[in-house]
Amino acid sequence: TVFALSREEWEESPAFDALVQDRLNRQQEREQAFLSHEGDCFAIYQVKDDDSLREIRFEGLDWLQSIGREVERENYNLIYTAPLSGKDTPEVVAEQLFYRFNNEHPKDYHSPSMSVSDIVAIRRDGALSCHYCDSFGFQQITGFLDANPLKNAEMSMEDDYGMIDGIINNGPKEPTVAQLEQQARSGQPISLMDLADAVHREERDKRKSVVEQLHQQPKQESKKTAPKKSAEREL
């Protein structure tokens, strides 16, 4: 039991539904956990319930190709992840999961049964493969997930996407002059050293920006003009 509730009562409660929804909301965090998990595991993705994606939901790869669409991560929600047991090939695992998520849903699975356009991502012995549920069977696809756990970790931890450089969390962005002035106006103490650094940094960036703009301007061809005749010769 959970808090004096039976397991069945707990799984049917609004609180349980809220936990499942919370899991859906933490897409990036859960995907990173999946990609960096040391053991074998799988993940199920389904096309987002969005009217703009109606033409690709429940459709096979041939249809996507015919309308000029591609399988893109941004069109999908991460629905479910779990450890994976056994040593079957990824192709066999995908078929097994299709049967399970149509006929034997796990108790914490509150999404539609697996169908065409769903994607099964499988990590086995550190290798990642993604399999599109096509009109007939599964088709392995590439490029759906970035298999670089470090980059994914940075994307979830960096405060500046410009610092995706292989070093997690390069530190917070330095405050701007405007931010420090706003902080002072709100009555919060600021460091005069930080303010001076911000002024210097923005002046340096402005000079750099002007120089870059000058370099980007097309060079004008210098027009050759004939030398002026002296007044003495014109007479």
What pLDDT shows up at residue 23?
A: 62
In which region does residue 124 sit, left (phi positive, over 0), alpha (psi from -120 to 50) or beta (all else)? beta
pLDDT score, position 83: 95
Angle, alpha carbons 143-75-95 (nearest 5°): 65
Does residue 20 surpass a pLDDT of 70?
A: no
For residues 34-57, give the mean pLDDT.
Answer: 94
pLDDT tens digits, one per residue of 173-228: 577 877 767 667 666 676 777 777 778 777 777 776 665 666 566 555 444 444 44
3-state secondary structure of 111: coil
Question: Which tokens belong to 132?
Answer: 């599109």
At residue 205, the pLDDT reads: 74
CA pair distance 11, 108, nearest whole angstrom: 8
Neighbours of 98 (CB within 10 A): 20
**pLDDT for residue 162:** 38
The 10s digit of each residue's pLDDT in 165-183 is: 333 344 455 778 777 676 6
- Only one residue has tokens 């103490």, namely 189
Distance between CA 47 and CA 117 in Å, rounded?
7
Q: What token pair was written down for 114?
A: 């697996």
SS3 category, 191? coil
pLDDT at residue 160 in the model:
40
Q: What is the mean pLDDT of residues 57-66?
A: 96
pLDDT at position 92, please?
Answer: 96
- What secondary structure does DSSP assign to 143-184, as a single string? SSS---HHHHHHHHH-S-GGG-SSSS---PPPPPHHHHHHHH
Predicted confidence (pLDDT) at residue 37 exceeds the cutoff of 80 = yes
